[in-house]
Protein backbone atom coordinates (compact mmCIF):
# COMPACT_ATOMS: atom_id res chain seq x y z
CA UNK A 1 0.00 0.00 0.00
CA UNK A 2 1.29 3.43 -0.90
CA UNK A 3 2.07 5.65 2.07
CA UNK A 4 1.67 9.37 1.41
CA UNK A 5 1.82 11.89 4.23
CA UNK A 6 1.64 14.91 1.91
CA UNK A 7 -2.15 14.99 2.18
CA UNK A 8 -1.74 16.17 5.78
CA UNK A 9 -2.69 19.78 6.56
CA UNK A 10 0.97 20.32 7.55
CA UNK A 11 2.10 20.32 3.89
CA UNK A 12 1.22 22.48 0.91
CA UNK A 13 1.90 22.27 -2.80
CA UNK A 14 3.41 25.46 -4.24
CA UNK A 15 1.29 26.64 -7.16
CA UNK A 16 1.50 30.46 -6.99
CA UNK A 17 2.25 31.94 -10.45
CA UNK A 18 5.37 33.79 -9.19
CA UNK A 19 7.00 30.42 -8.45
CA UNK A 20 8.25 28.32 -11.35
CA UNK A 21 8.27 24.64 -10.43
CA UNK A 22 10.90 22.75 -12.43
CA UNK A 23 12.18 19.97 -10.21
CA UNK A 24 15.57 18.82 -11.45
CA UNK A 25 15.11 15.25 -10.19
CA UNK A 26 11.88 14.90 -12.14
CA UNK A 27 13.97 14.96 -15.34
CA UNK A 28 17.21 13.30 -16.43
CA UNK A 29 19.36 16.39 -16.99
CA UNK A 30 20.68 16.54 -13.44
CA UNK A 31 23.92 15.46 -11.83
CA UNK A 32 22.68 11.88 -11.25
CA UNK A 33 21.42 11.39 -14.82
CA UNK A 34 18.26 9.85 -13.36
CA UNK A 35 14.66 11.14 -13.26
CA UNK A 36 14.22 9.68 -9.77
CA UNK A 37 10.96 11.52 -9.01
CA UNK A 38 9.34 10.13 -12.15
CA UNK A 39 10.58 6.62 -11.44
CA UNK A 40 8.83 6.52 -8.05
CA UNK A 41 5.64 8.18 -9.35
CA UNK A 42 6.11 11.53 -7.62
CA UNK A 43 6.53 13.76 -10.67
CA UNK A 44 7.09 17.51 -10.84
CA UNK A 45 5.33 18.80 -7.71
CA UNK A 46 6.83 21.16 -5.12
CA UNK A 47 5.57 20.42 -1.62
CA UNK A 48 6.84 22.14 1.53
CA UNK A 49 5.96 22.16 5.19
CA UNK A 50 3.37 24.81 6.00
CA UNK A 51 5.87 26.62 8.24
CA UNK A 52 8.29 26.93 5.32
CA UNK A 53 5.50 28.21 3.06
CA UNK A 54 4.51 30.82 5.66
CA UNK A 55 7.99 32.32 5.26
CA UNK A 56 8.37 31.73 1.54
CA UNK A 57 5.10 33.48 0.64
CA UNK A 58 6.49 36.70 2.09
CA UNK A 59 8.72 36.89 -0.99
CA UNK A 60 5.71 37.21 -3.32
CA UNK A 61 5.24 41.02 -2.95
CA UNK A 62 8.92 41.57 -3.87
CA UNK A 63 8.61 39.27 -6.88
CA UNK A 64 5.47 41.07 -8.06
CA UNK A 65 6.90 44.55 -7.54
CA UNK A 66 10.13 43.74 -9.40
CA UNK A 67 8.47 41.47 -11.99
CA UNK A 68 10.72 38.55 -11.10
CA UNK A 69 10.10 34.87 -10.44
CA UNK A 70 11.54 32.32 -8.03
CA UNK A 71 12.38 29.05 -9.75
CA UNK A 72 12.17 25.94 -7.56
CA UNK A 73 14.50 23.09 -8.52
CA UNK A 74 13.83 20.97 -5.46
CA UNK A 75 11.53 21.10 -2.44
CA UNK A 76 10.20 18.03 -0.65
CA UNK A 77 12.24 15.00 -1.67
CA UNK A 78 10.76 11.52 -1.17
CA UNK A 79 13.15 9.34 0.87
CA UNK A 80 12.94 6.63 -1.82
CA UNK A 81 14.28 9.10 -4.39
CA UNK A 82 16.94 10.39 -2.01
CA UNK A 83 18.34 6.90 -1.47
CA UNK A 84 18.38 6.35 -5.23
CA UNK A 85 20.37 9.57 -5.67
CA UNK A 86 22.88 8.63 -2.95
CA UNK A 87 23.51 5.32 -4.70
CA UNK A 88 24.11 7.09 -8.03
CA UNK A 89 26.36 9.89 -6.69
CA UNK A 90 28.43 8.62 -3.73
CA UNK A 91 30.26 11.94 -3.16
CA UNK A 92 30.58 12.51 0.62
CA UNK A 93 28.41 15.43 1.79
CA UNK A 94 26.95 16.13 -1.67
CA UNK A 95 23.68 14.47 -0.69
CA UNK A 96 22.90 13.81 2.98
CA UNK A 97 24.20 10.33 3.86
CA UNK A 98 20.73 9.07 4.81
CA UNK A 99 17.23 10.40 4.03
CA UNK A 100 16.78 11.04 7.76
CA UNK A 101 19.56 13.62 7.62
CA UNK A 102 18.15 15.56 4.68
CA UNK A 103 15.92 18.60 5.35
CA UNK A 104 14.46 18.02 1.88
CA UNK A 105 13.02 14.71 3.07
CA UNK A 106 11.36 16.61 5.92
CA UNK A 107 9.89 19.21 3.50
CA UNK A 108 11.79 22.05 5.17
CA UNK A 109 14.29 22.93 2.41
CA UNK A 110 14.18 24.32 -1.12
CA UNK A 111 16.68 24.76 -3.95
CA UNK A 112 16.02 27.96 -5.91
CA UNK A 113 17.20 30.75 -8.16
CA UNK A 114 15.73 34.06 -9.28
CA UNK A 115 14.44 34.62 -12.81
CA UNK A 116 13.78 37.82 -14.74
CA UNK A 117 10.47 39.06 -16.16
CA UNK A 118 10.84 36.61 -19.08
CA UNK A 119 11.28 33.71 -16.62
CA UNK A 120 14.93 33.38 -17.66
CA UNK A 121 17.30 32.35 -14.89
CA UNK A 122 19.75 34.84 -13.42
CA UNK A 123 23.37 33.80 -13.83
CA UNK A 124 25.20 32.32 -10.84
CA UNK A 125 28.76 30.98 -10.29
CA UNK A 126 27.44 27.49 -11.06
CA UNK A 127 24.18 25.92 -12.11
CA UNK A 128 21.99 24.54 -9.33
CA UNK A 129 23.69 21.37 -8.00
CA UNK A 130 26.75 22.58 -9.96
CA UNK A 131 25.30 20.65 -12.89
CA UNK A 132 26.73 20.52 -16.38
CA UNK A 133 26.32 17.65 -18.86
CA UNK A 134 30.10 17.19 -18.79
CA UNK A 135 30.30 16.80 -15.01
CA UNK A 136 27.24 14.55 -14.93
CA UNK A 137 28.95 12.25 -17.43
CA UNK A 138 32.19 12.31 -15.40
CA UNK A 139 30.37 11.41 -12.18
CA UNK A 140 28.42 8.61 -13.81
CA UNK A 141 31.79 7.17 -14.87
CA UNK A 142 33.01 7.38 -11.27
CA UNK A 143 35.32 10.34 -11.94
CA UNK A 144 34.93 12.90 -9.12
CA UNK A 145 38.15 14.96 -9.01
CA UNK A 146 37.26 17.71 -11.48
CA UNK A 147 33.73 18.05 -10.15
CA UNK A 148 34.88 18.43 -6.55
CA UNK A 149 37.10 21.30 -7.66
CA UNK A 150 34.18 22.84 -9.55
CA UNK A 151 32.02 22.62 -6.40
CA UNK A 152 34.17 25.31 -4.76
CA UNK A 153 32.40 27.84 -6.96
CA UNK A 154 29.08 26.85 -5.35
CA UNK A 155 30.01 28.15 -1.90
CA UNK A 156 28.84 31.45 -0.46
CA UNK A 157 32.47 32.40 0.12
CA UNK A 158 33.57 32.00 -3.51
CA UNK A 159 34.96 35.28 -4.85
CA UNK A 160 36.41 35.92 -8.31
CA UNK A 161 36.37 39.19 -10.24
CA UNK A 162 35.56 37.35 -13.46
CA UNK A 163 32.27 36.22 -11.87
CA UNK A 164 31.16 39.65 -10.65
CA UNK A 165 27.61 39.45 -12.07
CA UNK A 166 27.13 35.88 -10.91
CA UNK A 167 28.33 36.64 -7.38
CA UNK A 168 26.16 39.76 -7.18
CA UNK A 169 23.15 37.61 -8.12
CA UNK A 170 24.10 35.03 -5.49
CA UNK A 171 24.24 37.75 -2.85
CA UNK A 172 20.92 39.24 -4.00
CA UNK A 173 19.25 35.83 -3.68
CA UNK A 174 20.78 35.23 -0.26
CA UNK A 175 19.64 38.62 1.01
CA UNK A 176 16.10 37.98 -0.22
CA UNK A 177 15.80 34.48 1.22
CA UNK A 178 17.33 35.39 4.56
CA UNK A 179 15.09 38.48 4.79
CA UNK A 180 12.10 36.16 5.34
CA UNK A 181 13.91 34.05 7.92
CA UNK A 182 15.31 31.19 5.84
CA UNK A 183 18.77 29.73 6.45
CA UNK A 184 21.45 29.49 3.78
CA UNK A 185 23.77 26.51 3.39
CA UNK A 186 27.43 27.54 3.26
CA UNK A 187 28.49 25.25 0.41
CA UNK A 188 25.37 25.51 -1.82
CA UNK A 189 24.28 28.96 -2.99
CA UNK A 190 20.89 27.58 -4.13
CA UNK A 191 19.83 25.80 -0.90
CA UNK A 192 17.72 27.31 1.90
CA UNK A 193 16.35 25.67 5.05
CA UNK A 194 13.49 26.53 7.33
CA UNK A 195 15.62 25.83 10.40
CA UNK A 196 19.22 25.12 11.38
CA UNK A 197 20.42 21.50 11.44
CA UNK A 198 19.98 21.04 15.20
CA UNK A 199 16.23 21.64 14.83
CA UNK A 200 15.59 19.18 11.96
CA UNK A 201 14.28 16.59 14.40
CA UNK A 202 11.33 18.88 15.20
CA UNK A 203 9.98 18.03 11.74
CA UNK A 204 9.18 14.40 10.86
CA UNK A 205 10.55 12.49 7.89
CA UNK A 206 7.78 12.57 5.26
CA UNK A 207 6.85 9.37 3.50
CA UNK A 208 5.76 8.97 -0.11
CA UNK A 209 5.60 5.71 -2.01
CA UNK A 210 5.85 2.13 -0.88
Domain boundaries along the sequence of the chain: 9-195
pTM of the complete model: 0.94
pLDDT band at 5 (very low <50, low <70, confident <90, very high): confident
CATH code of 9-195, in short, is 3.30.1380.10
> Over the stretch 127-182, which tens digit does the pLDDT of each residue have?
999 999 999 999 988 888 999 999 999 999 999 999 999 999 999 999 999 999 99
User: What tens digit of pLDDT does each residue of 14-35 get?
Assistant: 999 999 999 999 999 999 999 9
Average pLDDT of the chain, as a whole number: 94
Which of 85, 80, 74, 71 has the alpha carbon at shortest distance from 109?
74
**Phi, psi at residue 118, to the nearest 5°?**
-95, 10
Distance of alpha carbon 32 from alpha carbon 15, whole angstroms:
26
Q: What is the pLDDT of residues 198-210, one digit of tens each?
A: 899 899 999 986 5
Amino acid sequence: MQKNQLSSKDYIEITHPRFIVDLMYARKDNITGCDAYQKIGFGNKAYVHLELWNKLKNIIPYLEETNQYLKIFDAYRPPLAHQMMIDLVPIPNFFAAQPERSPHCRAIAIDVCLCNEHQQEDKYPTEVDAYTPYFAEQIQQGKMTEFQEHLKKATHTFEDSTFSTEIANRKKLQKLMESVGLKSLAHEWWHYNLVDREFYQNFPLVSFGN
